[in-house]
Structure 1
Amino acid sequence: MTIFNKMRKPDFWKSSTFIIIVLYGVFFVWPIINLLGQSVYTKETGFTLANFAKFFGQGYYLQTIINSFKVTILATMLTLLIGVPLAYFLTVYKVRGKKFLNIVIILSSMSAPFIGAYSWILLLGRSGLITKFFSNTLGINMPDIYGFNGILLVLTLQLFPLVYMYIQGALNSVDNTLFEAAESMGITGFKRFFKVVLPLIMPTIYASALLVFMRAFADFGTPMLIGEGYRTFPRLIFDEFVSEVGGDTGFAAAISVIAIALTTAFFLTQRYLSNRKQFSMSALHSVEPKKMKKGLSIFVHSFAYGIVALAFMPQIYVFYTSFQKTSGLLFLDGYSLDSYRQAFSRLGSSIQNTFLIPGISLVIILIIAVIIAYIAVRRRNALTATVDTISMIPYIIPGTVMGIALLTTLSKKPFMLTGTYAIMIIALVIRRLPYTIRSSVAILQQISISVEEAAISLGASNAKTFFKITVPMMSAGVISGAILSWITMISELSTSIILYTSRTQTMTVSIYTQVLRGNYGIAAALSAILTFVTVISLLVFMKLSKGKDIQM
């Protein structure tokens, strides 16, 4: 009987792997397959490529791809031109206030991009603070912030910190002896940067460039708020899906499939380039920051503080305007808490939802992430490798595409989840799970398996060993990843804007809708609240990670 019971006893990890595969199959793979089906099939005509023919046959639609590539490629190049030198300067040289700069750079990257767009409208819009100052005081007309220029400005200042954080992490892995060897051969300063440093960090540059490209290409809120007539791919998908004259789901699905194909192609290209140049570095002696000559010191400090001030200025101004008296689009003389009172009285449910929906999502993410991390590292086989790969695919799919896929699939029987909290939670879990998985995998790879083997040899089951021994040892990495997932969830817009209803509206959606309606005071108050929550979350992250670099 004992042998029979042992044979019948289910394996915890096999059962967990099976359940996760089923969940991903139902809530991710099937919606994407369904989206593909909608793009090539209609009840009236059956299989058809008419939607794709419509897209590629009209210059109007093709122009959106050109627009998206134009602004995304330029934004990526500019973020590299800013982020790489900034990381190099702050790593190699002694810069005053380096810790302060690091914190501000991280804060600049964590707010939703569309909040930056809204902020720059307040500063450089047609009635903006800076615009009025130059016009009324100096008689100078400022360049138009709307359209291509505005989108490029916002994306560059919002995303260069991601490059900075990636490159800084890579530079911390460079051994100082390489710099000393270069100096002994007369290679110093900028020459050392191009001859020694740049080749060493090239894989990281590729990785950071991909991240920026994906974020910029998929950004929805910035072009909607500041783009005016400049149409990009995510905006086209949204417009076609929710058109006032009746959205064309099939055509929107076709555009979504094209978006998935494009982002996947760029992802695979980046992986190929990185793998070609991949090598490992272990810094026995970390890079030691050195003092600079006076001329170089002035340049480095001016560059670092100037860029950081420019990036963080919009958030400071939004916080300031949240306390001003307002009347629709106008900010009046004097200060008041009316914007906050209206935000809580009229949109209090959206503030609650911002904690409730991501909060529930975070609990689910924690459970699934530690299981996927464990089976990916400790139970590696073809099946678990597939689970690990599938879990990362949502990372490269634009949010509007994921929102359309979920809405068109889960609105039908047997799900019927349209307008529910459940569909919002599912979307957040699928899209933000990769952050916690990667952080959990990284920490687990540093834990020796002998600890678990010792527990099992003493009679503990696999499940008990995992929950009693492994999970507590993984806790720092898991929680750090979870906080990053949390930060990205509370600032999520592109998926939420497709799925939300008045009952499930979050702060990001409320900010977006209030800006469109011209209620700038309420939008500023909500933005300030969201920024405050982000700051607190980052402080918790820094406390738990003990100075660990943030990677997205």
Structure 2
Amino acid sequence: MIMETAAKRTKRIKWDFWTIVTVAAFALILLFLVYPLFNIFAASFYYDGKFSLETYKDFFTLKYYYGSLINSLIVCVSATFFAICIGVPVAYIMTRFDIPFKGVFHILIILTLLSPPFIGAYSWILMLGNNGYITNLLHDLGINVKSIYGLHGMIWVFTIQFYPHIYLYVSGALKTINSSLEEAAESLGSTRWRKFRTVTMPLIFPTLSTGALMVFMASFADFGTPMLLGQGIKVLPILAYEQFINEMGSNPAMASTLSMILLVVSTSILFLQRYLVTKKSFSMSSMRPPKVIKLKPLQKFFAIAFMLVVIGVSMIPQATVITTSFLKTNGPVFTNQFSLDSYREILFKVPQAIIHTFTYSSIAIVFMVISGLLLSYVIVRRSSKLSSLLDALIMIPYVIPGTVLGISLIIAFNKPPLFLTGTWIILVIAYCVRKLPYTMRSSTAILYQIDKSVEEASISLGVPPMKTFFKTTAVLMLPGVLSGAILSWVTTINELSSTIVLYAGSTATITVTIYREVFTANFGTAAALASILSLCTILSLIIVNLISGKKGIPV
């Protein structure tokens, strides 16, 4: 009887192309995401080959370990707060006031976001490090300033790097607020500040909290900036990496425990944000979007001045990296002489790192584009409990720090039958798992905008459903998918957190090479490599702008 029921259920399953896509997606997710995470979870409970809670006990009793969590929370909470303080005014000015050069400002802000944080850290070291330009200048003037190293330096770099997350989310919300709500507050005698505090802020809170979550997650998971600026101050990703890869002997159990703590904190923050949004969310109609306010000359001057200061400071790392890449070096010191030696040196020393970066990222993006097209169709057009579960599983890497993912993949695939550790394949897998959620979001967003009637019309004319998808739906989706894919590609070539754990000597990428060059005081070659990444980021933004056909970058 049971066998007959199972046979009937099997017959009920329609084994078409989309079912095969769904099954294949679940199989890959289970293999390369769920299985590695389960392995790292299990490894955290094994010490010296037997089940033990020793590592968890050590974490919560030894300051060396729990202090790293405290440091991480101080840095992330502070960076999120200051990013809100900068991002909200920038978004308000850009959406509500008639200032010139909005398109240029927008692109420059996005460029700040897409540049890797550790390059920003490296740039600020050149300026405010122990022997930095600004440090030496102020010292000559008799002013002693604290160097960029320490928790305050991490907070500064993360704030400048990630405030665009707040800007993007808040500006989108401010554009859709129903202006009648704010007008009603004004008619009741509310001042501009009280109106903003009691009406505007509650309305944009859901999107503001999402932007804040992005800032917190990005700061919490970052590896390069704390490693460059820490100077002995540990945060969780650094400690997990050092416990896993240590010259004095690694401690996989403690590395796994630290990785689980990272994952639990990330997930808890995500659930806290969701809880706050559901508790304090407001619905509104956007039928009457707010009008752009014309400023008086003095007001416009101060608004533009504020924007120039914020964007100017944001662009300092980019300008510093590009400028110093053309300077001659004398050991670790830059001279005032123009030179292309740094570029000649990287082409001679590390050409493979450049080739690896673009090869691995391009392979990952091809997979992500195909996955974005197929899986978004399964999730949107063939909606079910199974597709909802698939969507949830795909979004799990959204809260997984790169260091955790890297450690989990090594623990899972460092022995037969699937030995991938040290190969380029494991890097491509990590990139796909890490960045697929972002490509998926752009793919599903564009598919929701395509009316089903377009597909129905094609099918009614005798075109088979599969041919309709590839000839019609996929073609209509492609601009949005490519825009998201190119932006994912930019973040992939700039990826350090997972790469630093997974790479071998023969698979080093640009980011890893920059990291190594900085630590060996080869600042010229580090600047040249960082400039290549910056140039690729700029070109990618231009391409996205052309593909989207809009003014600005659709991030």
TM-based fold match above 0.5:
yes
Instruction: Name the structure 2 match of 1:464.
Output: 467
Check whether the contact 2:541–2:553 (CA below 8 A) recurs between aligned residues: no
Check if 1:110 corresponds to 2:114. yes
Secondary structure at 2:328 match in 1: strand
Q: Does 1:25 align with 2:43?
A: no
- How far apart are the structure 2 equivalents of 1:288 and 1:312? 30
* Aligned match of 1:453: 456
Q: Is the 8 A contact 2:103 2:551 kept in 1?
A: no
Distance 2:552 2:101 in 1: 17
Q: Are the counterparts in 2 of residues 12 and 462 from structure 1 also a CA contact under 8 Å? A: no
Unaligned runs of 5+ in 2: 1-10
Q: Is the contact between residue 51 and residue 250 of structure 1 (CA under 8 Å) also seen in structure 2?
A: yes
Q: 1:10 corresponds to which residue?
A: 15
Q: Residue 501 of structure 2 aligns with which residue?
A: 498
**Aligned match for 1:388, one of 388, 391, 401:** 391
CA distance, structure 1, for counterparts of residue 552 and residue 502 of structure 2: 33
**Displacement after TM superposition at 1:285 (Å):** 4.1
In the TM superposition, residue 144 of structure 1 has moved relative to its aligned partner by 2.0
Distance 1:548 1:216, change over 3 A: farther
What residue in structure 1 maps to residue 137 of structure 2?
133
1:103-252 equivalences in 2 (<5 Å): 103-136=107-140, 138-187=141-190, 189-252=192-255
CA distance in 1, matches of 2:290, 2:13: 57
**Aligned counterparts, 1:281-292, within 5 A:** 281-292=284-295
State the shift of 1:275 in Å: 2.5
Structure 1 stretch displaced more, 221-230 or 113-122: 221-230
Does the CA-based 8 Å contact 1:328-1:521 persist in structure 2?
Answer: no
TM superposition shift of 1:8 = 11
Q: Is the aligned partner of 1:79 residue 2:83?
A: yes
Q: How far 1:279 sits from its partner (Å)?
A: 4.5
Deviation at 1:173, TM superposition (A): 1.4
Tell me the distance in 2 between the aligned counterparts of 1:253 and 1:211.
24
1:433-452 counterparts in 2 under 5 A? 433-452=436-455
Deviates more, 1:456-465 or 1:402-411: 456-465
Shift of 1:282: 4.8
The equivalent of 1:334 in structure 2 is 337
Residue from 345, 357, 362 that aligns with 1:359: 362
Quote the Cα distance in structure 2 between the aligned partners of 1:192 and 1:549: 29
Secondary structure in 2 aligned to 1:325?
A: strand
**1:379 & 1:272 partners in 2: Cα distance?**
28
In 2, the alpha carbon distance for the partners of 1:229 and 1:436 equals 37
Once residues 110 and 432 of structure 2 are traced to their aligned partners in structure 1, the CA distance between those partners, rounded to angstroms, is 23
**Any gaps of 5 or more consecutive residues in structure 1?**
1-5
* Secondary structure at the counterpart of residue 503 of structure 1: helix
Contact 1:377–1:445 (Cα < 8 Å) also in 2: yes
1:314 Cα deviation from its structure 2 partner = 1.5
Q: Which residue of 1 aligns with 2:380?
A: 377
Residues 372 and 473 (structure 1 numbering): CA distance in 2 closer, same or farther, change over 3 Å?
same
SS in 2 for 1:223: helix
After TM superposition, the structure 1 = structure 2 runs for residues 24-63 of structure 1, keeping only pairs within 5 Å, are 24-42=29-47, 44-45=49-50, 47-63=51-67
Aligned pair 1:101/2:105, yes or no?
A: yes
**Deviation of the 1:272 alpha carbon:** 1.7
Tell me if the contact between 1:119 and 1:317 (Cα under 8 Å) persists in the aligned partners: yes
Q: What's the counterpart of residue 3 of structure 1? A: none
Normalising by structure 1, report the TM-score.
0.95
What SS class does the counterpart of residue 246 from structure 1 fall into? coil
Letter in 2 for 1:129: Y
Match status 1:320 vs 2:329: no
CA distance in 2, matches of 1:272, 1:120: 37
Indicate conservation of the 8 Å contact 2:548/2:554, yes or no: no
Q: Secondary structure at the match of 1:172?
A: helix
Q: TM-score, normalised by structure 2?
A: 0.95
| Residues 47 and 55, structure 2, Cα contact 8 Å, conserved in 1 | no
Q: Distance in 2 between matches of 1:75 and 1:542?
A: 29
1:430 aligns with 2:449: no
**Which residue type is aligned with residue 306 of structure 1?**
V
Counterpart in the other structure of 1:307: 310
CA distance in 1, matches of 2:405, 2:13: 40
Match of 1:272?
Answer: 275
Q: CA deviation at 1:43?
A: 6.6
User: Which one of 242, 248, 256 corresponds to residue 253 of structure 1?
Assistant: 256
